């Protein structure tokens, strides 16, 4: 990916043709945590819908259903009773991309959800608590991963899953830091067999076959107001929505990161995470989508 651009081929892929219906654009399933913890997943769900997934379902524990029902409209809701509930939901082959982690909670049930989602071999975005839940046994996590998975850690989460690579980064002097970050993300993707997107003002994306993309939100392209609660949850939803639309994991990661940065720049000072999905129509218009 050019440092600040999105390729014409990826822009073209964002369009919807007149002869297509909603199921042609995929159905994303976003998992939410329990009562009082649904905000992050709702942000991700809204982003997945805005980026063009044909349908988006928020799956939540039954006790969080009423709370989520009070907050969503175009997004559909489904109570999921533990991982057996998730397995049952995934019997529908039209659910073709999954997001788990934002607000999910760090618990056995989260680990089991991750196991079930990965065993289904569907494209899946693993963020936040889905990563942190495996901090005590990253190897067990890597054994479950496959090339349809995208990991979207911030540096803290990256350090929990790849502690040795993070240590090398922390030890490095400032001037060569970007080179070391590139090497760390490339090694991380090779080690875990999935696409890894390391977030920050410079976002780096690597896949297991050695492709590397980077997005520099610095200088004229800076978007420092993206450093706000829930901003990463929106990114996870964007990537999931693009996976539902049939983008490859690497394409979904780079396109999602680019759109996220563009929305951050477009909104500028004062933005909060809720604003980011709502900026997408303006960004699409600028791109000619």
Ligand X SMILES: Nc1ncnc2c1ncn2[C@@H]1O[C@H](COP(=O)(O)OP(=O)(O)O)[C@@H](O)[C@H]1O
Ligand Y SMILES: NC(=O)C1=CN([C@@H]2O[C@H](COP(=O)(O)OP(=O)(O)OC[C@H]3O[C@@H](n4cnc5c(N)ncnc54)[C@H](OP(=O)(O)O)[C@@H]3O)[C@@H](O)[C@H]2O)[C@@H](O)CC1
- Known binding-site residue numbers for (6S)-NADPHX: 40, 103, 154, 233
Range 173-202, binding ligand Y (CB under 6 A): 200
If one asks whether residue 61 binds ligand Y (CB under 6 A), the answer comes out as: no
Q: Does residue 233 bind ligand Y (CB under 6 A)?
A: yes
Per partner kind, with CB cut-offs from 5 to 8 A, the member of ligand X, ligand Y, none near residue 132 is ligand Y
Task: Sort strands 195-198 and 202-206 into parallel, antiparallel or unpaired.
Answer: antiparallel
SS3 content of the chain, % helix, strand, coil (to 5): 50, 15, 35
Q: Is 231 within 8 Å of 199 (Cβ atoms)? A: no
Q: What tokens appear for 79 in the block?
A: 């109570």
- The residue range among 20-28, 59-67, 184-192, 228-236 that interacts with ligand Y, by the rule CB under 6 A, is 228-236
Q: At 195, list the tokens.
A: 């696409």
- Answer yes or no whether residue 154 interacts with ligand Y by CB under 6 A: yes
Among 68, 83, 96, 132, indicate the residue that binds ligand Y (CB under 6 A): 132
How many residues make contact with ligand X (CB under 6 A)? 18
Residue 54 interacts with, from ligand X, ligand Y, none (CB under 5-8 Å by kind):
none
For the record, the structure tokens of 263 come out as: 């929305």
Query: Of these, 223, 253, 263, 283, which contacts ligand X (CB under 6 A)?
Result: 223
**Which H or E run contains 60?**
strand 55-60
- Shortest reach from residue 231's CB to ligand X, in Å: 4
Of 274, 191, 275, 205, the C-alpha closest to 239 is 205
What DSSP element (H or E) covers 171? helix 163-171
For the CB of residue 190, give the shortest distance to ligand Y in the complex, in Å.
22
Using the contact rule CB under 6 A, the part of the chain among 80-88, 125-133, 207-215, 245-253 near ligand Y is 125-133
Q: Work out how close the CB of 154 gets to ligand X at its nearest, in angstroms, rounded to a whole number.
A: 4
Q: How far apart are CA 162 and CA 185, in angstroms?
A: 10
Q: Report how far residue 217's alpha carbon sits from residue 260's, in angstroms, rounded to the nearest whole number.
A: 10
Binder of ligand X out of 67, 87, 172, 201 (CB under 6 A): 201
Q: Answer yes or no whether residue 47 interacts with ligand Y by CB under 6 A.
A: no
d(CA 207, CA 185): 9
Beta bridge partners of 79: 60
Q: Can residue 1 be called a binding residue for ligand Y (CB under 6 A)?
A: no
| Contacting positions for ligand X (CB under 6 A) | 128, 154, 199-201, 203, 217, 223-224, 226-227, 229-233, 235, 260
């Amino acid at each position: 990916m050019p440092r600040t651009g999105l390729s014409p081929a990826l822009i073209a892929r964002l369009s919807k043709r007149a002869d297509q219906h909603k199921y042609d654009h995929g159905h994303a399933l976003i998992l939410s945590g329990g009562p009082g913890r649904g905000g992050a997943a709702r942000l991700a769900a809204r982003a997945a819908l805005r980026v063009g997934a044909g349908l988006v379902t928020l799956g939540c524990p039954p006790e969080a259903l009423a709370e989520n029902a009070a907050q969503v409209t175009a997004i559909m809701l489904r109570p999921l009773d533990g991982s057996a509930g998730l397995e049952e939901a995934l019997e529908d082959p039209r659910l073709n991309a999954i997001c788990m982690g934002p607000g999910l909670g760090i618990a056995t049930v989260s680990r089991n959800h991750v196991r079930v989602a990965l065993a289904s071999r569907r494209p899946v975005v693993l963020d936040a608590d889905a990563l942190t839940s495996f901090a005590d046994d990253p190897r067990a996590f890597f054994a479950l991963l496959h090339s349809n998975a995208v990991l979207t850690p911030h540096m803290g989460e990256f350090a929990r899953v790849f502690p040795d690579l993070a240590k090398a980064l922390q030890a490095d002097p400032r001037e060569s830091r970007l080179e070391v970050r590139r090497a760390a993300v490339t090694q991380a993707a090779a080690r875990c067999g999935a696409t890894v997107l390391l977030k920050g003002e410079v976002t780096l994306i690597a896949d297991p076959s050695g492709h590397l993309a980077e997005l520099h939100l610095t200088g004229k392209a800076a978007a420092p107001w993206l450093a706000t609660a829930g901003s990463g949850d929106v990114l996870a939803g964007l990537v999931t929505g693009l996976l539902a639309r049939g983008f490859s994991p690497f394409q979904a990661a780079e396109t999602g990161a680019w759109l996220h940065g563009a929305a951050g720049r477009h909104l500028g000072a004062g933005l909060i995470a809720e604003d980011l999905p709502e900026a997408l129509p303006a960004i699409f218009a600028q791109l000619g989508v």
